[in-house]
Amino acid sequence: MTDAFVILLATIFVNNFVMVQFLGLCPFMGASQKMDAAIGMAAATTFVLTLTSAVSYLVEHYLLIPFELEYLRIIAFIVIIAALVQFSEIVIRATQPMLHQILGLFIPLITTNRAVLGVALLNVRHAHSFFDSILFGLGAALGFSLLLILFAAIRERLQFADIPLPFEGAAINMITAGILSLAFMGFTGMS
């Protein structure tokens, strides 16, 4: 039980996928303009990440290893991720049409979110068990959601701030992300 807790906390804070391992920066910058959109994006990514880590474990251990096809790992995982993303897009479009309008292209872009493939591949490298894989995926997703929502909140405030002209737009976002990353450096070595 403590092991599970350690994995979860470590992936959320110490080895945060966005701020420490620099995975999944594209949606982190792109989908954090508005709080609503950020929350929707976080939920969609959490769904995809957790399921991906479960399904990729099953595919790895019951398809790829028995047939000695480990060299197909990346392709197989990408196919799984793409399918799950498509599924979540269909569900969002049917249940939350407004959110689908706001997120637009960013939902299919979860497919190319490095964090998703990263979790699947890191699971294999760390030789996690099935349960640990799911926890690892969930932790990564929660860490990503935390960062995305934090950053969206900061950006909503930045809109009202009086920023010097040369720093407006992308520049101030980069600076903010850098400072956030510094803050997460504080957790290094705690596990």
Partner 1 sequence: MTDLISGLILISTMGCFIAVLLQYSAKRYPEQIDEVVIAINNLLPQTQCAQCDYPGCKPYAEAIANGEDINHCPPGGEELIRNLAVLLGRETKPLDLNFGETKAPSVAVIREAECIGCTFCIKACPVDAIIGAPQQMHSIITEDCTGCELCLEPCPVDCIDMLITQDNLAKTYPLHLLKPVPKPIKSTEVSPCIRCGECEIQCPKSLAPHELYFQRESKTAMEILDLDACIECRICDRACPSHIPLTRIFVETKQRIESEKEKSIAANTAESKFLAHEQRQNQDHKKIRTRASRDDRASILAQLSKNNSGENK
Stretch that binds partner 1, among 45-53, 83-91, 132-140, 178-186 (CB under 8 A): 83-91
Answer yes or no whether residue 87 interacts with partner 1 by CB under 8 A: yes
Angle, vertex CA 125, rays to CA 123 and CA 131, nearest 5: 30
Transcribe 8-28 into DSSP letters. HHIIIIIT-TTTTS---HHHH
Binding of residue 94 to partner 1 (CB under 8 A): yes
Closest CA to 20 of 157, 146, 149: 146
Q: Is 33 in the site for partner 1 (CB under 8 A)?
A: yes
Q: Could you tell me if residue 129 is left (phi over 0), alpha (psi between -120 and 50 degrees) or otherwise beta? A: beta
DSSP 165: G
Does residue 65 touch partner 1 according to CB under 8 A? no
If one asks whether residue 72 binds partner 1 (CB under 8 A), the answer comes out as yes
Measured from the CB atom, is 4 or 72 closer to partner 1?
Answer: 72
The span from the CA of 91 to the CA of 114, in Å, is: 22
Residue 81 CB contacts under 8 Å (≥ 6 apart), including other chains: 48, 52, 110, 111, 116, 117, 120
- Min dist CB 186 to partner 1, Å, is 26
Query: From the CB of 83, what's the least distance to partner 1, in Å?
Result: 4
| CB neighbour burial string for 78-101, b if at least 16 within 10 angstroms, e if fewer | eebbeebbeebbeebeeeeeebbe
Interface with partner 1, residue 73, by CB under 8 A:
no
Q: Which of 6, 10, 25, 34 binds partner 1 (CB under 8 A)?
A: 34
Answer yes or no whether residue 164 interacts with partner 1 by CB under 8 A. no
Which stretch in 6-14, 99-107, 109-117, 177-185 sits in contact with partner 1 by CB under 8 A? 99-107
User: Nearer to partner 1 by C-beta: 94 or 190?
Assistant: 94
- For partner 1, the closer of residues 13 and 28 by Cβ is 28
Nearest to 115 by CA among 148, 152, 151: 148
Q: What are the residues binding partner 1 (CB under 8 A)?
A: 33-34, 37, 59, 63, 67-69, 71-72, 75-76, 79-80, 83, 86-87, 90-91, 93-95, 97-98, 100-104, 159-160
